[in-house]
Structure 1
Amino acid sequence: MPPSALFIDGTSTVHRTYHPEPVRPKKPFPWAALAFWGLVVYAATGVYTVSPNERAVVRRFGRVLPEIRQPGLHFGLPWGLDRVDRVRVSEQKRVTVGGSIVDRDLGRPTDQQGAEYLTGDRNLVQLTAVVQYRIADPKAYLYHAADVPKVVADAASASLARAVSGMTVDAVLTTERPVVQQFVRDRAMMELRGYDLGVEITGVTLERAAPPREVQEAFRDVTAALEDKQRLVREAEGYAASLKPQTEGRIEQILAEATGYRESVLAKARGDTQRFESLRNELAAGRERIERRLLLQTLEEVVPRMQKVMFDDKTADRMELNVFEAQP
């Protein structure tokens, strides 16, 4: 029976029955739903995207999968089972050989010994080069070396030392810089292929080439002298080019005069030949008359405007030719 209570109020007594509230059972915690949604969220960690300028390499249980993920949406195992490593294959990376260009531009101290190389004529030269490269094989780039930029810089530095060791210091500082850059690119690329780092060198730029600080003033004088030499050579070539048309015209004039003189000599020779041929024919017809005429022509040329007298050794009489009369 439910408990009762007695209440006395003045002259009356009231009996009331007490009914307690019923106890409601507690709802169980939704562990199953929580686990389900937790599994859904965990499975969603296996969904990932690859940007257009990226490639992704997947490690599943620590083993590298052979397929390289291309740009787009991909599905894999949840986090912890699959590890996704992304690399930017279209990005141009760069390393500096022989000191930091940023430190140099900001006036910070740099390692001068690291930038000095020995040339073929046993001179020291300070060189700073920038090597640009890109990722060609993401898997090799990620897992074949712990510090790829350092390996690239070391290969370029060794190639740079080999390049300048066969040149003179003047050639390195002035005319052979493009040759040095091309040699370093080809040689370093050959070494990196042997290491299989998955990178490709796209360019090498020799940013700085200078003698050591102690002899910079002397090298400036040498450089100025070489520039003066090149300037004088250019001026001489320009002067020669300006004289060339005039010289060619003079040559043509001399050739024309020589050709005219040759033609005149040939014409005179032909005339003399014809004259002597006619004299020979005449001489055959009348030898004494021709000899007399030739003698008179010769005398006219040798002693002009004089009276000419001929003597015969067989007679004492003189013979007056009376070809010319004596001038008063």
Structure 2
Amino acid sequence: MAWNEPGNNGGQDKDPWGNRGGRDQGPPDLDEIFGKLGRKLNGLFGGSGPSLGGGGSAAGLGVIAVVGAVIWGISGFYTIGEAERGVILRFGEYNRIEQPGLNWKANFIDDVRTVNVEAIRSLRGSGLMLTKDENVVRVEMDVQYRVADPKKYLYAVTSADDSLRQATDSALRAVIGDAVMDEILTTGRQVIRERTQVEINRIIDRYDMGIQVVDVNFQTARPPEQVKDAFDDAIAAREDEERFIREAEAYRNDILPKATGRAERLKKEALGYKEKTVNEAQGEVAQFEKLLPEYAAAPDVTRSRLYLEAMESVFENTSKVLIDSKSGGGNLLYLPLDKLMSQRPQQSSGAQPVSQPNGIELERSSTDTQSQSGRSNSRQGRF
């Protein structure tokens, strides 16, 4: 119901300023308002002076001004976080950079915009791009960066984040357009990542956006869906080729050292056998050269000695005993029967030959052997 509508408030009209019946139209007197406010402030601060009239309105305004100044000064304190920096604008124009901690600004004059300079931010660039060999590939790349200069980040360009996104897209398209499809999908990913980071830094330095690129990650690179199966087969074949090459290299690295070592061992054994044979031959030649004068002086004696030495070397590992038939039967021979019996393998009853230098072998029967063993206490035998 409108304020001047008939019947309002029980038939009494009331205007917006509280006048009933439409009397005294218009706003209340300003002096009256300030007077009431002054009286309230005097009561609040314990004042007992006269109410604000024409002369007391100045004192009331002074009190109001002081209270407002106090409130204005207190409200200007603010805090900046440890990882943040505050950019102060005075009447909309850059003034200074505030460090972390408790600071103060002039309200309605200064404005503060905080920027986190330690947080690592991330943006992703992707899209279908044309390669050097006229193939289409979809590439995704993630760029990590942080704010290096808050002032430049906020005011060097309209939007530093959008500018970096456009710079990433431009740099990525330039690098992809200078590479072939196989390099992008297989072996050239690291090179593309490094070249893209260099190109992004070049653009950032030129526009001076106050941003520092921390890392660039080459996420995925894949061909269009229409030819994806064919490219997958090509990539699988390439991977199989690299795997077979690595397996062959591993087999070569395992076999080649062994074969080289075996060949070296055989060569050294052959050289050793050669030196041994040559030395033995040279020793025998030297021995015969020393025996030659003796043989020329006494042929029979030398021949007999050589014969005995040869027989000794032949029969040294046998159980046969050689005796001299020319020595006669009166000599007493001492035979090492215990060693002969230990060297002789256990056999069934049989004959044991005894050789003589003239080639005649004497056989002793088993009964003679037993009788001989019965007399072995003295470890003597007579022939």
TM-score (norm 1): 0.64
1:40-55 matches, cutoff 5 A: 40-55=70-85
Aligned to 1:246: 258
What amino acid is the match of 2:81? S
Supply the distance in 2 between the matched residues of 1:60 and 1:270 (Cα, whole angstroms). Answer: 111
The change in CA–CA distance for 1:129 and 1:34 in structure 2 (over 3 A counts) is: same
2:106 to 77, 83, 102: 77
Q: Give 1:237 deviation, angstroms.
A: 1.8
The change in CA–CA distance for 1:251 and 1:147 in structure 2 (over 3 A counts) is: same
What amino acid is the match of 1:78? N
Q: String of CA shifts for 1:137-180, please: whole Å, max 9, x gaps.
A: 00000101112112111212222122223332112111221221
Q: Give 1:86 deviation, angstroms.
A: 0.7
Q: Highest CA radius of gyration, 1 or 2?
A: 2
Supply the distance in 2 between the matched residues of 1:268 and 1:155 (Cα, whole angstroms). Answer: 87
**Partner SS for 1:161:** helix
2:158 to 113, 121, 146: 146
1:131 to 132, 139, 143: 143
**Partner SS for 2:98:** coil
The change in CA–CA distance for 1:153 and 1:258 in structure 2 (over 3 A counts) is: farther
After the TM superposition, which of the residue ranges 231-240 and 257-266 deviates more from structure 2? 257-266
Supply the distance in 1 between the matched residues of 2:199 and 2:271 (Cα, whole angstroms). Answer: 63
Q: Give RMSD over aligned pairs.
A: 2.8
Is it true that 1:116 corresponds to 2:128 in the alignment? yes
**Partner SS for 1:145:** coil
Q: Answer yes or no: is the 8 Å Cα contact 2:78–2:104 preserved in 1.
A: yes
After the TM superposition, which of the residue ranges 151-160 and 248-257 deviates more from structure 2? 248-257
Aligned to 1:203: 215
1:29 to 37, 53, 59: 37
Supply the distance in 2 between the matched residues of 1:254 and 1:160 (Cα, whole angstroms). Answer: 61
After the TM superposition, which of the residue ranges 259-268 and 188-197 deviates more from structure 2? 259-268
Supply the distance in 1 between the matched residues of 2:93 and 2:236 (Cα, whole angstroms). Answer: 62
Supply the distance in 2 between the matched residues of 1:206 and 1:253 (Cα, whole angstroms). Answer: 53
Q: Answer yes or no: is the 8 Å Cα contact 1:96–1:129 preserved in 2.
A: yes
TM-score (norm 2): 0.55
What amino acid is the match of 2:231? F
Supply the distance in 1 between the matched residues of 2:278 and 2:81 (Cα, whole angstroms). Answer: 91
Q: Give 1:63 deviation, angstroms.
A: 2.4
Q: Answer yes or no: is the 8 Å Cα contact 2:105–2:111 preserved in 1.
A: no
Q: Answer yes or no: is the 8 Å Cα contact 2:79–2:101 preserved in 1.
A: yes
Supply the distance in 1 between the matched residues of 2:135 and 2:154 (Cα, whole angstroms). Answer: 40
2:116 to 88, 96, 113: 88
2:69 to 39, 43, 46: 39
Aligned to 1:287: none
Q: Structure with the greater relative contact order (CA < 8 A, sep ≥ 6): 1 or 2?
A: 1
Supply the distance in 2 between the matched residues of 1:145 and 1:121 (Cα, whole angstroms). Answer: 36
Q: Give 1:191 deviation, angstroms.
A: 1.3
Aligned to 2:202: 190
After the TM superposition, which of the residue ranges 42-51 and 83-92 deviates more from structure 2? 42-51
Percent identity over the alignment?
A: 33
Q: String of CA shifts for 1:61-102, please: whole Å, max 9, x gaps.
A: 23212x4111011123222x101111011111111111xxxx
Q: Answer yes or no: is the 8 Å Cα contact 1:44–1:78 preserved in 2.
A: no
Q: Give 1:52 deviation, angstroms.
A: 0.6
Is it true that 1:62 corresponds to 2:92 in the alignment? yes
Q: Give 1:265 deviation, angstroms.
A: 8.8
Supply the distance in 2 between the matched residues of 1:137 and 1:195 (Cα, whole angstroms). Answer: 13
Supply the distance in 1 between the matched residues of 2:37 and 2:129 (Cα, whole angstroms). Answer: 75
Supply the distance in 2 between the matched residues of 1:126 and 1:209 (Cα, whole angstroms). Answer: 6
> Structure 1, unaligned stretches of length 5 or more?
1-25, 99-114, 279-328
Q: Answer yes or no: is the 8 Å Cα contact 2:146–2:212 preserved in 1.
A: yes
What amino acid is the match of 1:217? D
Q: Give 1:259 deviation, angstroms.
A: 2.7
**Partner SS for 2:118:** coil
**Partner SS for 2:37:** coil
**Partner SS for 1:253:** helix
> Structure 2, unaligned stretches of length 5 or more?
1-31, 39-59, 290-383
The change in CA–CA distance for 1:269 and 1:185 in structure 2 (over 3 A counts) is: farther
Is it true that 1:212 corresponds to 2:241 in the alignment? no
Higher strand share: 1
**Partner SS for 2:132:** coil
1:161 to 162, 173, 184: 173
Supply the distance in 1 between the matched residues of 2:74 and 2:219 (Cα, whole angstroms). Answer: 49
